[in-house]
Amino acid sequence: MIKISNMSKYYGDYPAVLDVSFSIEKGETVGLLGPNGAGKSTTMKVMTGYTPPTNGKVSVGGYDIVDKSLEARKQIGYLPENVPLYLDMTVKEYLNFMASIRGMKSGISKRTDEVIDITGLETYRDTIIGKLSKGYRQRTGIAQSIIHKPKILIMDEPTIGIDPVQVVETRKLIQSLGGEHTLILSSHILPEVTTICKRVLVIHDGKIVADDTPNNLSKRLQSTQVCEVSIKENNGVNFIKLLRNESYVVDVRSKFDNNSEYKNYIIEMSSNHGVEENIARLIVENGIGLHKLNSLPLTLEEIFLQLTSE
Amino acid sequence: MINIYTIFKKELLSYIKSPMAYIVAASFFTVTGFFFIASVSDAFSEASIRGFLAGAVFFLIFLSPALTMRLIAEEQKLGTMELLMTSPLKEHEIVVGKFLASFSIVLFMLAGTLFYPIILFIFGVPDLGPIFTGYLGLILYSCSTLSIGIFASSLSSNQLVSLVVGSGILTLLTFINFVSERVPGILGTILNELQLGGSFSVFDTSSFGIAEKGHFADFARGIISVYDIIFYLSISIIFLLSTILILETRRWK
């Protein structure tokens, strides 16, 4: 559906996206994940034909985004990051207008009613958009992106800036759209991507640093092990010194807890072959006083941090 | 074609809903009415619409950019330009649709002034020819002032900047004879030919007429000059094309 090869986009001398290649098949739900300024929005702006790539080829639905721009744009439903709306129109007028400029010729008002139902905007059908709350504006934005039944749906940070209850509802809505469209969404929020998407592209500094399923991403990083150790408080300094001497220890962080005579440490290690055993032995042999030791599963948040911190 | 119509319809609805079009129309009627009355209320004054024409040509310098300032600047500001540019629309369809919407508002305004000639016919014996050519001239003249206004609107996402730049260009083109008269040779001639409406014997309360110079002069006298028609159409096309070009270049930035 979408094929991007060696695409770069420069703003002046600054490369927002650098030599990126990937392809997305029909029916996939793909999340672009990365911190702010990583190049997610730029990648989307290029895919939607808003701005052409500086180098490389981008084809959407089989049409080159530069040479056959109009054809390519017909395949796409797009929700830009700031959810652009005409504030003086009613929801219905806006959706009718968007349907016509997206190339729908007939059945517009029937489809508008349908989309209003899907996005739960029934009560606000004839409300001026300027008077809607942020969450309902977001829904209106989503509604315009699906109004013309596009093959490809591209959403830039679709849940940013709305309240938590509406975030959950909006996510559900987006999830339900994934079935019929090829869906690409960008986010800097991990749970969002993992609940909605079956594939994650991690972008950092304009480059793709990982491209996998959420499950595989955590598997790939399991060679790194994290465990939590709880010891008697007064032995803390000694303990950290000992750990620093071990080659497999990557990082030690203390977890402060006021009300306890024990002190907790999060230890990150570079291999998972019996390292807990080693740690336990180290503690016991040095008489530090082991209280608790358990290994922690890596959260995606940590994977993300690892992937993107060089 | 259908896309131009869609954009046209949207902009027209937006004009109808926003106060700007009404404010522009109201001040147009007030100011041109003042000029009309001042030009015909003396005893033995001439039964013509020259006073109205002078007022209209003068005031459209400010009113056209006021009508068009929103058209593109607002889309940039709201971010809706991103929607238009990622829809299967061509840049010229966007620009032409918007131009036609503002043009039809001006046509409504001009239609509303038809009671000036009607008054003349009731109380006097005016010459029909100059009235007809006067209106034809105004229609063509407003085409070019609106195009320049739209061009100004595409330069910035700030409507006020668009208004100031638009009226600035129009004022320059109106008073360019101040400069061209003092520039010798071919350059002076070229500058002189650029004079858009040109006539500020508007301020000469004894005659209230269109000056001898400028492309509007012949229309006011009752002459249909192909040269002036081509001039106004060219200015319109040049500025609309520049606007389209600006939208296209912005894509490549």
The residue among A195, A214, A233 that closes a domain is A214
pLDDT of residue B133: 92
The residues near B100 (Cβ < 8 Å, ≥ 6 apart) are B4, B8
Q: For the ranges A8-12, B62-66, B139-143, which has the lowest average pLDDT?
A: A8-12
Domain count, chain A: 2
Q: Using the beta-carbon criterion (under 8 Å), do B86 and A74 form an inter-chain contact?
A: no
Domain range for A244 is: 221-308
Q: Using the beta-carbon criterion (under 8 Å), do A97 and B10 form an inter-chain contact?
A: yes
Whether A8 and A17 have beta carbons less than 8 Å apart is answered as yes
Q: Say whether pLDDT at B156 is over 80.
A: yes
Q: Do residue A103 and residue A244 come from a single domain? A: no
From A85's Cα to the closest Cα of chain B, the distance in A is 6
Q: For the ranges A14-28, A61-75, A76-90, B214-228, which has the lowest average pLDDT?
A: B214-228
Q: Using the beta-carbon criterion (under 8 Å), do B253 and A73 form an inter-chain contact?
A: no
The residue among A169, A194, A214 that closes a domain is A214
Q: Say whether pLDDT at A236 is over 90.
A: no
Q: Do residue A161 and residue A184 come from a single domain? A: yes
Q: Say whether pLDDT at A235 is over 80.
A: no
Q: Do residue A115 and residue A35 come from a single domain? A: yes
Q: Do residue A227 and residue A128 come from a single domain? A: no
Q: Is the dihedral of CA B124, B129, B132, B135 positive or negative?
A: negative
Q: At how many degrees (to 10) do helices B50-78 and B91-112 cross?
A: 150
Residue A310: band (very low, low, confident or very high) from pLDDT cuts 50, 70, 90: very low
Q: Do residue A99 and residue A178 come from a single domain? A: yes
Q: Say whether pLDDT at A222 is over 60.
A: no
Optimal mutation site among B8, B75, B78, B87, interface A, most CBs of chain A within 10 A = B87
Q: How far apart are CA A90 and CA B160, in angstroms?
A: 26
Q: What is the DSSP string of chain B?
A: -HHHHHHHHHHHHHHHHSHHHHHHHHHHHHHHHHHHHHHH-STT---SSHHHHHHHHHHHHHHHHHHHHHHHHHHHHHTHHHHHHHSS--HHHHHHHHHHHHHHHHHHHHHHTTHHHHHHHHHS---HHHHHHHHHHHHHHHHHHHHHHHHHHTT-S-HHHHHHHHHHHHHHHHSTHHHHTTS-HHHHHHHHHT--S---GGG-TTT----SSSTTHHHHHT---HHHHHHHHHHHHHHHHHHHHHHHHHHH-
Find the closest chain B residue to A54 by CA distance. B252
Q: Give the CA-trace dihedral at A202, A204, A206, A210, to 10 degrees.
A: -30
Domain count, chain B: 1
The residue among A177, A194, A214 that closes a domain is A214
Q: Say whether pLDDT at B163 is over 90.
A: yes
Q: Do residue A242 and residue A182 come from a single domain? A: no
pLDDT tens digits for range A106-164:
889 999 999 999 888 999 999 999 999 888 999 999 999 999 989 999 999 888 878 88
Find the closest chain B residue to A85 by CA distance. B80
Interface confidence (ipTM) of the complex: 0.87
By Cβ distance, the residue of B83, B84, B251 closest to A51 is B251
Share above pLDDT 90 across residues of chain A, in percent, rounded to a whole number: 32
Q: What residues of chain A lie within 8 A of the CB of B17, using their CB?
A: 88
pLDDT of residue B69: 95
pLDDT of residue A218: 65
Dmax over CA atoms of chain B, in Å, equals: 63
Q: Say whether pLDDT at A308 is over 60.
A: no
Q: Using the beta-carbon criterion (under 8 Å), do B82 and A84 form an inter-chain contact?
A: yes
By C-alpha distance, which of A206, A209, A172 is closest to A306? Answer: A209
Q: How far apart are CA B252 and CA B85, in angstroms?
A: 12
From A168's Cα to the closest Cα of chain B, the distance in A is 26
Q: Say whether pLDDT at B10 is over 70.
A: yes
The residues near B69 (Cβ < 8 Å, ≥ 6 apart) are B149, B152, B153, B159, B160, B162, B163, B166
Q: What residues of chain B lie within 8 A of the CB of A11, using their CB?
A: 253
pLDDT tens digits for range B198-252:
655 555 555 555 566 778 888 888 889 899 999 999 999 999 999 999 999 887 7
Q: Tell me the CATH number at A178.
A: 3.40.50.300
Q: Do residue A198 and residue A158 come from a single domain? A: yes
Q: Say whether pLDDT at B142 is over 90.
A: yes
Q: Using the beta-carbon criterion (under 8 Å), do A50 and B85 form an inter-chain contact?
A: yes
pLDDT of residue A304: 64
Q: Do residue A229 and residue A202 come from a single domain? A: no
Whether A170 and A143 have beta carbons less than 8 Å apart is answered as no
Query: What size, in residues, is chain B?
Result: 253
Residue B7: band (very low, low, confident or very high) from pLDDT cuts 50, 70, 90: very high
pLDDT tens digits for range A261-304:
778 887 877 765 677 788 888 888 888 888 888 877 665 566 56
Q: For the ranges A30-39, A213-222, B25-34, which has the lowest average pLDDT?
A: A213-222
Q: Do residue A199 and residue A227 come from a single domain? A: no
From A46's Cα to the closest Cα of chain B, the distance in A is 10
Q: Do residue A183 and residue A243 come from a single domain? A: no
Q: Tell me the CATH number at A243.
A: 3.30.70.260
- The model's pTM is 0.82
Q: Do residue A177 and residue A238 come from a single domain? A: no
Q: Using the beta-carbon criterion (under 8 Å), do B89 and A76 form an inter-chain contact?
A: no
Q: Do residue A30 and residue A155 come from a single domain? A: yes
